[in-house]
Amino acid sequence: MGKPLKVMQILPEFHEGGVERHVLWLSNEMAKKGHEVLVVTKGGKLESHLDKGVGVWHLPVHAKNPVTAFFCAMRIAGRAKKEGWDILHAHSRVPFWIARWASSKGDIPWVATTHDTFKHSCVLAPLKKASATISVSRSVKDHLVPYLPKNAFVIYNGLLPTEKTWQGSLEKDPFKFLFIGRLTPRKGLQVVLKALADVKGNWILDVVGDGPMRKELENLVDGLRLSDKVRFWGFRDDTDDWHAKCSCFLFPSLEEGMGMTLMRAIQMGVPVLASNLPPVRELCLNPEALLKPGDETSWREALKVLLTERKVTQLFDGDKIPTVEEMTRKVLEVYQRCMALKKKEVISC
């Protein structure tokens, strides 16, 4: 390993979620390798999971206010230049702008990870000026190509090792469906609930996660008369245990960059029913078996067939899923590339 790097990871908040877990694991692994990491964020409960060697700096980098974002950028630029930070790494929309401005002011390379696609081009404008971008799937990169710089890479999210494997059963009753994720419209849980309303049999659905849509979904469950079958558990840290004990994991997302809960299910050998989305197809061995996103009829029929035949036809390639260590090594290579390019620019001047 060369000289240890000093890297700022910038993300809006640090509560439970795929982006937040990604930054948590990346930061901890970098610190483990001897690099200095500072997480710049509004804050959140995942701070307690950071290793002692990882610093935290609370700034309002979540605020969708240009004045506040510019203020944060100037604070970051000043500190980065004074303390000799090597790389700014932005995650999510507002941090893209903040890192762009801070990089320009402090003359520091910056990297953006695109964890998802975005609908508005104004959000993507800073990316062209990034030293490099990292997309979490090929489909995300392909979607964003017009907005990306020359140095645009794909690095799948890495997962921590686990000794747990699927211990559930397709034969035993009650049949245990599992959903893990943030409760927002784009995660598609509402589609599954409506589909399950017409599915007879001895089954239950465990919903692990929380979010702004929880009350609406609970009301939907009551209205569909599924209260005795659908159980809401909120956010949990023991999601591997839930994966291990379920009968089938449901991934009904309407949009997705690369779902980490899906990747974990695949890694553990859990039977899966998933939406036919571009990033999901990257991991699926038989994409024709995937289900149309948002289509209640497709999901209803698939759920009925599963409960009748007790077998899952969707097959996934777990070998494509890297470890956190493998992911971190590739990210560090991107950092080194950015620094080498910066050094070349200085020499040429």
pLDDT at 337 over 80: yes
Q: How far is CA 322 from the centre of its chain?
A: 14
Cα distances (angstroms) measured from residue 112 to each of 4, 37, 128, 308: 20, 16, 10, 46
Judged against a pLDDT cut of 60, whether residue 197 lies above it is answered with yes
What mean pLDDT is predicted for residues 136-144? 94
Q: Is pTM beyond 0.75 here?
A: yes
Query: With contact defined as beta carbons under 8 Å apart, do 194 and 296 qualify?
Result: yes
Instruction: Report whether pLDDT(348) > 70.
Output: no
CATH architecture of structural domain 175-320: 3-Layer(aba) Sandwich (3.40)
pLDDT confidence of residue 346: 46
In the chain, the largest separation of any two C-alpha atoms, in whole Å, equals: 72
Q: How does residue 122 score in pLDDT terms, banded at 50, 70 and 90?
A: confident
- Indicate the range of 102-111, 119-128, 236-245 predicted with least confidence: 119-128
Band of the pLDDT at 345, cuts 50, 70, 90? low
Are 109 and 338 a contacting pair, CB within 8 Å? yes
Going by C-alpha positions, the residue among 288, 277, 286 that lies closest to residue 253 is 277
Of 282, 275, 346, 348, residue with least CA distance to 319: 282
Residue 349: per-residue pLDDT: 34
Would you state the pLDDT for residue 344? Answer: 64
Instruction: Please answer whether residues 99 and 10 qualify as being in contact, where contact means their C-beta atoms are separated by less than 8 angstroms.
Output: yes
User: Is residue 194 pLDDT above 80, yes or no?
Assistant: yes
Is 6-158+322-348 in CATH node 3.50.50.60?
A: no
Share of the chain above pLDDT 70, in %: 97
Q: Domain-by-domain residue ranges, the chain? A: 6-158+322-348, 175-320
When pLDDT is cut at 50, 70 and 90, the band that residue 82 belongs to is very high
What pLDDT was estimated at residue 47? 95
In this prediction, residues 292-303 reach a mean pLDDT of: 97
Domains 6-158+322-348 and 175-320 share a fold: yes
Strand partners, 132: 111
Closest C-alpha to 112, from 125, 98, 130, 138: 130
Instruction: For residue 271, name the pLDDT band (cuts at 50, 70, 90).
Output: very high
Res. 120: pLDDT tops 70: no
Q: What digits encode the pLDDT tens for the residues 205-235?
A: 999 999 999 999 999 999 999 999 999 999 9
Mean pLDDT of 132-142: 96
Nearest to residue 175, comparing CAs of 252, 251, 247? 247
- pLDDT of 138 reads 95
Does the pLDDT value for residue 247 go beyond 90?
yes
Is the model's pLDDT at 1 over the cut of 60? no
pLDDT (average), residues 16-41:
96
The pLDDT-based confidence of 186 (bands split at 50, 70, 90) is very high
Q: What integer pLDDT is reported at residue 347 of this predicted model?
A: 43
Sign of the CA dihedral 42, 44, 47, 48? Answer: positive
Q: What is the per-residue pLDDT across 51-70, written as a single tens digit (0 to 9) for each?
A: 999 999 999 999 999 999 99
Q: What is the pLDDT of residue 195?
A: 98
Mean pLDDT in the chain? Answer: 94
- pLDDT for 223 equals 98
Across the range 279-302, mean pLDDT stands at: 96
User: Can you tell me the mean pLDDT for 166-188?
Assistant: 96
Q: What is the pLDDT of residue 342?
A: 76
298, 292 contact by CB (below 8 A): yes
- Residue 191 has a pLDDT of 98
